[in-house]
Structure 1
Amino acid sequence: MLWDDYAAAWSELHGGFDPRKANFLVRGWVRIAYGVGSWLSARRIGPMAVTTMGLFVCLLVPLSVALLDRVGIFLAAVVVLVAALADGLDGAVAVISGRTTRLGYVYDSVADRVGEAAWLAAFWLTGAPGWLAVAAGAASWLQEYARARATAAGMSEIGVVTVAERPTRVLVAIFGLLAAFAYAPLITVATAVWLALALIAGVQLLTAIRRALAA
Structure 2
Amino acid sequence: MAGTRLDWDEYATAWARLHGDFDPRRAAPAVQGWLRFAYQIGHLLGRLRVPPTAVTVVGTLFCVVVPITVLREPGGPFIAAGFVLLAAVADSVDGAVAVVTGRTSRLGYVYDSVADRVGEVAWLIAFWLLGAPGALVVAAGALSWLHEYVRARSVSAGMREIGAVTVGERPSRVLVALIGLLVTGAARLIQFDLGAGTITVVAAIWVLLAGFGLVQLLGAVRRALL
Q: TM-score range by the shorter chain?
A: over 0.9
The match for 1:186 among 174, 195, 198 is 198
Aligned partner (choices 190, 195, 208) of residue 207 of structure 2: 195
Partner of 1:211: 223
Task: Supply the distance in 2 between the matched residues of 1:38 and 1:82 (Cα, whole angstroms).
Answer: 18
Give the 5 Å matches for 1:73-152. Answer: 73-152=77-156
Q: Tell me which structure has the larger Cα radius of gyration.
A: 2
Q: CA deviation at 1:205?
A: 0.6
Give the CA deviation at 1:167.
Answer: 1.5
Q: Following TM superposition, by how much is the alpha carbon of 1:116 offset from its aligned partner in structure 2, in angstroms?
A: 0.5
Tell me how many residue pairs correspond in the alignment. 213
RMSD over aligned Cα atoms: 1.1
Which protein is richer in helix relative to its size?
Answer: 1
In structure 1, distance between residues paired with 2:51 and 2:60: 15
Q: 1:33 aligns with which of 34, 38, 51?
A: 38
Unaligned runs of 5+ in 2: 1-5, 188-194
CA positional deviation for 1:25: 3.7
Query: How big is the shift at 1:65?
Result: 1.6
2:70 alignment partner, SS class: helix
2:181 to 177, 181, 197: 177
Q: Note the alpha carbon deviations across 1:151-196, whole angstroms, 9 max, x for none.
A: 0001000021111221111111011001111111211111111110
Query: Does the aligned pair in 2 maintain the 1:29–1:167 contact within 8 Å?
Result: no
Gap regions ≥5 residues in structure 1: none
* TM-score after normalising by structure 2: 0.91
Find the counterpart in structure 2 of residue 24 from structure 1. Answer: 29
Name the TM-score, length of structure 1 as normaliser.
0.96
Structure-1 separation of matches of 2:41 and 2:217: 30
Distance in 1 (alpha carbons) for counterparts of 2:30 and 2:144: 19
Distance 1:196 1:31 in 2: 30
Task: Tell me which residue corresponds to 2:192.
Answer: none
